[in-house]
Amino acid sequence: MENAHVPQPVYRPARLADLHDIADIEAGVFPEPYLYLMLRQLFELHGSEWLVAELDGAVIGYALTLERGGRSVLFTFAVVERLRCRGYGRSLVDHVLHRCVSIGAEVTVTVHPDNDPAWNLFKRAGFVFEAHDDRYFGPGEPRDILRYAARNGRALRADRATRDDQVAVATSVDSKSWGRSHRPPQ
Tens digits of residue pLDDT in 34-64: 999 999 999 999 999 999 999 999 999 999 9
Mean pLDDT in residue range 104-109:
92
What's the farthest any 2 CA atoms get from each other in the chain? 47
Task: For residue 91, report the phi and psi dihedrals to the nearest 5 degrees.
Answer: -65, -40
Q: Which of 36-40, 48-52, 130-134, 149-153 has the lowest mean pLDDT?
A: 149-153
**According to the model, what pLDDT value does residue 44 have?**
95
Domain locations in the chain as residue ranges: 10-178
Q: Are 147 and 106 in contact (CB under 8 A)?
A: yes
Q: How far apart are CA 40 and CA 61, in angstroms?
A: 17
H or E element that contains 93: helix 88-102
**According to the model, what pLDDT value does residue 90 have?**
93
**According to the model, what pLDDT value does residue 3 have?**
54
Q: Mean pLDDT over all residues of the chain?
A: 81
Residues facing 182 on adjacent strands: none
Which homologous superfamily does the CATH classification assign to the domain defined by 10-178?
Gcn5-related N-acetyltransferase (GNAT) (3.40.630.30)
| Per-residue pLDDT at 140 exceeds 60 | yes
Q: Report the amino acid identity of residue 30.
A: F
**According to the model, what pLDDT value does residue 84 have?**
86
Which residues touch 92 (CB under 8 Å, ≥6 apart)? Answer: 11, 51, 53, 61, 62, 63, 77, 79, 167
pTM: 0.77
| Per-residue pLDDT at 149 exceeds 70 | yes
